[in-house]
Chain A
Amino acid sequence: MQISVKERLESIINNLDQLPSIPEVVGKVINMVNDPNVDFRMVAQEISRDQAITTNLLKLCNSAYFSKGKEITTLDRAIVTLGIKEVKDAVMVVATKAVLNRAILGYDLARGMLWEHDLAVAVMSKNIAMMKKDRAIADLVFTGGIIHDVGKTVLALFVQSAFKEILAKVESSGVSFQQAEREVMGYDHQEVGERILAKWKFPQVLKDIVRYHHEPDNAPEEQRKIVSYVHVANSVCLMAGVGIGSDGLYHELSEKAIKRIGITDEELNQLYSDIPDVLRQVKGLS
């Protein structure tokens, strides 16, 4: 008998070697920056251990999106000029590109589409947090935005073979696509993403963003607001077609999440209308 999709998926997500990897330095930097008593020099020292990351990071710090005008040529300068949180966000962009900037077959995303989507969600989540004067978590929702769909990179092959069944489930039971993923394959792309982040040793708040970005109202209460920023940004980007794939708009846009972060109807329309500006900001990230 053929091994079921569920069993195959189960064996992959329980085997750390089969999940995507990113440079070890990233998990360390993220956890260091998450600590309010972080020592900047230690962070710079940690990053500098990875030469490839350092080179690309300095380049990105001088991009239109991150640059403050003056050319940055050293890590110390980057941290002083941009701040430790911005530098951490830039490290994230540099370190996750190899995992996310590729074709995602089962979801019908051509190469670059998921990456553009992830960056757009990151930029927009941060824009909303700034607009709502929630500056302290602006960097967190940016980081969460980048990796919110990382589970799709692993789940895609399974979605490809189970697609018809998933879509039939959506249409017959009226559940969202990601819920149908879970029912048909045992796991949805949020749960697979959470496993990947556990492998990367990322902090709980980022795991929660990934795990609940389609269902923010089910997130643990203390993280619900942060998750809601990414949920709203993700929904608006998908509606504008940015990174929309075979799962389409078979998702839920939670009104509770919109209310939770204090967005009015008018502001929500404006976010959608401003998508071309977000895409310009994304271009400034390369």
Chain B
Amino acid sequence: MDTLINVGVARIEVATNPAILRTILGSCVGVCVYDRMKKIGGLAHILLPNWVKDGVKEKYADTAIPMLINQLLKMGCSREFMSAKIAGGASMFRFQANLALGQIGERNVEAVRKALAAKNIPIVVEDVGGSVGRVLDFHLEDGRMKVKAAGQEKMYYKV
């Protein structure tokens, strides 16, 4: 059995094959970055889009993603072999349109796309939006991402 590593809210974990990184998502976004040559990957659980003064940097897309990439580079990964898969960013089914927190899922997805583009990491898979909760399993054996949502499992192999 591969080691299962649970990645908590606003946490970043990096590991080498064999291991599975798991996180559970509502409006948060799980960012899986994989180096297909080294079989090393990292998962960031993003709570919010943009860093605010005195904030814990692991919480925000624009600060957590550079941290994640740096950790991977330190482990010997190369940016040219990295790709990203993202999941999450759901919204409450019903809320008043003027409620800022209601949009947080979409804003998280936007900020994640932007932060990955800034680091030149291509996004090869997105499983985002809607009102589902998602359990994300990131397998470092081959970089595949399994998403369980609303009682159904989907497997994404692209790296």
Contacts and interface: CB of A to CB of B under 8 A. Distances in A.
A251 B90 CA distance: 12
B26 A269 contact: no
Contacts of A251: 92-94
B101 A275 contact: no
A62 interface: no
A29 B16 CA distance: 52
A245 B92 CA distance: 13
Contact of B133 (A163, A248, A255, A276): A248
A81 interface: no
B47 interface: yes
B9 A253 contact: no
Contacts of B68: none
A273 B105 CA distance: 13
A interface, over-half SS: helix
B140 interface: no
Given A249-B132, A250-B131, A239 B104 contact: yes
Given A240-B9, A269-B100, A279-B9, A252 B47 contact: no
Contact of B94 (A176, A236, A245, A273): A176
Given A249-B91, A265-B99, A240 B59 contact: no
Interface in A212-261: 235-236, 238-242, 244-253, 255, 258
Contacts of B131: 248-250
Contacts of A248: 26, 90, 130-133, 149-150
B159 interface: no
Contacts of B101: 236, 239, 253, 265, 268-269, 272
Interface string B73-107: 00000000000000010111111101111101100
Nearest to A272: B101
B interface, over-half SS: loop
B27 A253 contact: no
Contacts of A269: 100-101, 104
Interface in A95-148: 108, 113
A167 interface: yes
Given A265-B100, A272-B101, A241 B149 contact: no
B133 A244 contact: yes
A255 B47 contact: no
Given A108-B151, A265-B100, A275-B47, A241 B9 contact: yes
B48 to A, nearest CB: 6
Contact of A255 (B28, B48, B99, B105): B99
Nearest to B45: A241
Contacts of B56: 276
Contacts of B133: 238, 241, 244-249
B25 interface: yes
B132 A242 contact: no
Nearest to B97: A255
Contacts of B27: 239-241, 249
B8 interface: yes
Interface string B45-67: 10110000001100100000000
B29 to A, nearest CB: 10
Given A239-B105, A241-B45, A249-B133, 14 more contacts: A108-B151, A235-B92, A241-B26, A241-B28, A244-B26, A246-B151, A248-B26, A248-B133, A248-B149, A255-B99, A258-B99, A265-B101, A276-B9, A279-B9
The 10 lowest CB-CB distance pairs between A and B, nearest first, are A244-B133, A255-B96, A248-B133, A252-B94, A241-B26, A248-B132, A253-B95, A249-B131, A239-B27, A250-B93
27 contacts: A113-B24, A176-B93, A176-B94, A239-B92, A239-B104, A240-B9, A240-B27, A240-B28, A241-B28, A244-B24, A244-B26, A247-B133, A248-B90, A248-B149, A249-B90, A252-B93, A253-B95, A253-B101, A255-B98, A272-B47, A273-B47, A273-B48, A273-B55, A273-B59, A275-B47, A276-B9, A279-B9
